[in-house]
């Protein structure tokens, strides 16, 4: 079985064939699902640990500090040490809390982000879930996470948790609208909601460049709204530590707190990967127009870089952008937050969709 | 395997539906309702009707349950428990449910369901969109627009009710 780093279709079908040669169809499905599940759990843990480390380093760089540097070379084992500490900590339970909901809430949050990750096209042929309604699926499953946050706030039986959960709920429900509408622009351009088709439509240029001004406006709105949806700064007033202790996860400790923490970072990854897929062509290399002289040599050079490097490179860029937001802008108040969404982003978005439809009808885009 | 998954999902839906109406804690009832709705979405996914499954997830699980939970968070208290119902009321409810279940089961079991032998048609997004905005035969543009106006009117009404009166 030769491993082709440009196209994984051969590898996945070879695994499928060798499994179905030995096992019955039902057993094959179960084994394949188990393999994919384990791969995603490992991926989830690794990316989560790396992102926590990256955030601390980026934050330190922006604030002219050094960041973690004691555990391992340049502190790369710091998050692993932190994680072991969290695993061994005592799980506290507040008096009069609703125990069932209190324990359930972190799982709802983490399952929602886990389901969304399955739909990401990591490289050509490396795509676990490819529905006809891909974009709608990702929006639908990531929308379930808010229930976990609301339940966590309620079941802690703590006024800070409850206020944090209410703020977070209002924020996520409003900004979901903007995320969906910004993606609508690209759905109109690509003529499909299937993620693999959207990626394929960007073979001759990414939608951010092909779609003129509407795509750029949609991209900016998407980045703002999805930063708000992940409850990250400057929209982190759900866990504003100066006023609400720690918001909805005040009462959580140990591994249950780690679940919320990990889910927040994974949501950031999901959002960045989703933005990279829809606006920047996922694993598609950067190509320039054939009209420019020597363009074919440039494009060949770009094709030489494997798809998964493109995917993680683009995702990493967007994650860096989101971290930059967090450590640059001051936190918004709740009224400013809702004004931004309902009075600015939503009307701009609606007008943008009409302009996009006009562009597509007249064939003005590339 | 499909049959096994179907029975599993059906069992989840039934169990959580019953728990949702019998639970004496209001937020737990809402969470059980969420699980019942997720089970329904899973059955749509099994039928490969992805659009309806995603709509079920966004509208019911992500929209309506969030709305219910939100209103409970604003009004209820965590110690609050409903009183157990009186035996007379419980019996009356049980009788009504029993009659309803009997009628439904009788009708379903009596009706001979005959497959028409056609292959399952794929319902994709494009077909749904085009049918909604089609003004020819089998088009639904009139009901679609009427519902849109109704929803707009409802939204405007909700904003007017929620708006604070400014008295100067």
Sequential pLDDT tens for chain B (168 residues): 778 888 988 999 999 998 888 888 888 888 898 889 888 988 888 887 888 888 888 888 878 888 888 888 877 676 677 777 788 888 998 899 999 999 999 999 988 888 777 766 666 777 788 888 888 777 888 888 999 999 999 989 988 888 777 666
Same domain flag for B61 and B137:
no
Residue A37, in any domain of the structure: no
Q: Do B58 and A166 touch (CB under 8 A)?
A: no
pLDDT of res. B106:
92
Q: Which of A29-38, A170-179, A204-213, B6-15 has the lowest mean pLDDT?
A: A204-213
Q: Minimal Cα distance from A112: which residue of B? A: B62
Q: Do B54 and A147 touch (CB under 8 A)?
A: no
Q: Minimal Cα distance from A180: which residue of B? A: B58
pLDDT of res. B20:
87
pLDDT of res. B122:
66
CA distance A218 to A207: 10
Q: Do A147 and B34 touch (CB under 8 A)?
A: yes
Domain span holding position A313: 93-362
pLDDT of res. B139:
81
Residue A45, in any domain of the structure: no
Of B29, B54, B81, which residue sits at a domain end?
B81
Domain span holding position B159: 123-163
CA distance A250 to A252: 6
pLDDT of res. A1:
45
pLDDT of res. A348:
92
Of B28, B50, B58, which has the smallest distance from its Cβ to A100's Cβ?
A: B28
In total, the C-beta contacts within 8 angstroms joining chain A to chain B are: 87
Min Cα separation A262/chain B (Å): 21
pLDDT for A306 beyond 50: yes
Min Cα separation B9/chain A (Å): 17
What the block records as the tokens of A103 is 């324990």
- How far is C-alpha A261 from the chain's CA centre? 14
Helices (H), chain A: 9-22, 25-62, 78-88, 99-117, 134-142, 145-155, 159-190, 195-200, 207-210, 212-229, 241-244, 254-280, 295-303, 307-328, 334-339, 346-362
Residue B54, in any domain of the structure: yes
Write out pLDDT tens, residues A319-356.
Answer: 999 888 888 888 888 888 888 888 899 999 999 999 88
Residue A15, in any domain of the structure: no
Q: What are phi and psi of B167, to 5 degrees?
A: -105, 115
Residue A135, in any domain of the structure: yes
CA distance A272 to A230: 11
Residue B69, in any domain of the structure: yes
What the block records as the tokens of A138 is 């990702």
pLDDT for A186 beyond 60: yes
pLDDT of res. B101:
92
Q: Do B1 and A96 touch (CB under 8 A)?
A: no
Domain with residue B18: its CATH number is: 1.20.120.1200
* Residues of chain A with C-beta less than 8 angstroms from the C-beta of B54: 131, 133, 136-137, 139-140
Of A97, A131, A162, which has the smallest distance from its Cβ to B73's Cβ?
A: A162
Residue A32, in any domain of the structure: no
Could you tell me the CA-to-CA distances from B148 to A97, B151, B154, B155 in Å, in that order? 43, 5, 10, 11
- The total number of structural domains in chain A stands at 1
* Residues of chain B with C-beta less than 8 angstroms from the C-beta of A137: 50, 54, 57
pLDDT for A137 beyond 70: yes
Query: Is omega for the bond preceding A268 within 30 degrees of 0, making it cis?
Result: no
Name which of A231, A257, A249 is nearest A169 in CA terms: A231
* Average pLDDT score over chain A: 82
Residue A108, in any domain of the structure: yes
Of A26, A136, A150, which has the smallest distance from its Cβ to B1's Cβ?
A: A26
The residues that bridge with A123 in the sheet, in sequence order, are A126
- DSSP letters for A110-123: HHHHHHHHTT---B
Same domain flag for B13 and B65:
yes
- The total number of structural domains in chain B stands at 2
Same domain flag for B1 and B76:
yes
Min Cα separation B66/chain A (Å): 6
What the block records as the tokens of A357 is 């439809």
Average pLDDT over residues A242-257: 77
Which residues of chain A are at the B interface, by a Cβ-Cβ cutoff of 8 Å? 26, 29-30, 96-98, 100-101, 104, 131-133, 136-137, 139-141, 143-144, 146-147, 150-151, 153-155, 157, 162, 165-166, 169, 173, 176, 193
Residue B89, in any domain of the structure: no
Same domain flag for B71 and B140:
no
CA distance A189 to A186: 5
Of B58, B81, B104, which residue sits at a domain end?
B81
Min Cα separation A26/chain B (Å): 6
Prediction ipTM score: 0.78
CA distance A139 to A127: 17
Q: What are phi and psi of A126, to 5 degrees?
A: -105, 85
How many Cα atoms within 13 Å fall on the side-chain side of residue A216?
5
Residue B109, in any domain of the structure: no
Write out pLDDT tens, residues A57-116.
Answer: 888 888 888 888 888 788 888 888 888 888 888 777 777 777 788 888 888 888 888 888
Name which of A92, A248, A117 is nearest B69 in CA terms: A248
pLDDT of res. B102:
94
Q: Do B1 and A193 touch (CB under 8 A)?
A: no
Q: Do B69 and A150 touch (CB under 8 A)?
A: yes
């Amino acid at each position: 079985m030769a491993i082709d780093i440009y196209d994984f279709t051969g590898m996945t079908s070879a695994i499928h064939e060798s499994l179905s040669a030995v096992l019955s169809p039902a057993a094959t499905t179960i084994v394949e699902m188990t393999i994919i599940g384990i791969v995603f759990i490992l991926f989830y843990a690794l990316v989560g640990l790396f992102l926590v480390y990256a955030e601390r380093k980026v934050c330190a760089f922006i604030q002219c500090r050094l960041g973690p540097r004691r555990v391992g070379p340049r502190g790369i084992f710091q998050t692993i040490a932190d994680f072991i500490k969290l695993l061994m900590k005592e799980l506290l339970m507040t008096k009069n809390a609703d125990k069932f909901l209190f324990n359930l809430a972190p799982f709802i949050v983490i399952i929602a982000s886990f389901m969304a990750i399955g739909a990401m096209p990591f490289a050509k042929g490396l795509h676990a879930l490819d529905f006809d309604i891909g974009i709608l699926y990702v929006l639908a499953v990531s929308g379930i996470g808010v229930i976990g946050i609301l339940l966590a706030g309620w079941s802690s039986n703590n006024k800070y948790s409850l206020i944090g959960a209410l703020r977070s709920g209002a924020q996520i429900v409003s900004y979901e609208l903007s995320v969906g509408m910004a993606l609508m622009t690209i759905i109109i351009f690509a003529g499909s909601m299937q993620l693999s088709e959207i990626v394929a439509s960007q073979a001759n240029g990414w939608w951010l460049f092909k779609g003129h001004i509407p795509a750029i406006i949609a991209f900016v709105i998407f980045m703002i709204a999805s930063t708000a949806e992940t409850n990250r700064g400057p929209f982190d007033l759900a866990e504003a530590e100066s006023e609400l202790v720690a918001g909805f996860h005040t009462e959580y400790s140990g591994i249950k707190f780690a679940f919320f923490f990990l889910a927040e970072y994974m949501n950031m990854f999901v959002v960045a990967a989703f933005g990279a897929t829809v606006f920047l062509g996922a694993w598609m290399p950067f190509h320039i127009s054939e009209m420019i002289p020597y363009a074919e040599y440039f494009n060949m050079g770009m094709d030489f870089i494997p798809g998964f490097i493109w995917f993680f490179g683009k995702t990493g860029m967007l994650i860096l952008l989101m971290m930059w937001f967090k450590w640059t802008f001051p936190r918004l108040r709740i009224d400013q937050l809702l004004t931004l969404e309902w009075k600015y982003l939503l009307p701009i978005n609606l007008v943008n969709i009409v302009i996009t439809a006009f562009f597509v009808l007249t064939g003005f885009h590339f | 395997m499909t049959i096994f998954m179907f029975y599993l999902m059906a069992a989840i839906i039934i169990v959580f539906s019953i728990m949702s109406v019998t639970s004496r804690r209001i937020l737990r009832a809402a969470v059980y309702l969420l699980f019942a709705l997720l089970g329904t979405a899973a059955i749509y996914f099994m039928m490969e009707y992805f659009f309806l499954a995603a709509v079920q997830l966004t509208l019911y699980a992500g929209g309506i349950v969030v709305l219910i939970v939100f209103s409970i968070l604003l009004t209820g208290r965590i110690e609050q428990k409903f009183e157990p119902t009186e035996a007379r009321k419980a019996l009356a409810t049980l009788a009504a449910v029993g009659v309803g279940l009997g009628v439904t089961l009788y009708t379903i079991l009596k009706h001979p369901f005959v497959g028409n032998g056609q292959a399952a048609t794929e319902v994709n997004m494009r077909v749904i969109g085009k049918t909604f905005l089609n003004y020819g035969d089998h088009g639904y543009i009139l009901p679609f627009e009427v519902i849109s106006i109704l929803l707009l009117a409802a939204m405007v009404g909700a904003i007017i009710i929620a708006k604070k009166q400014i008295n100067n």
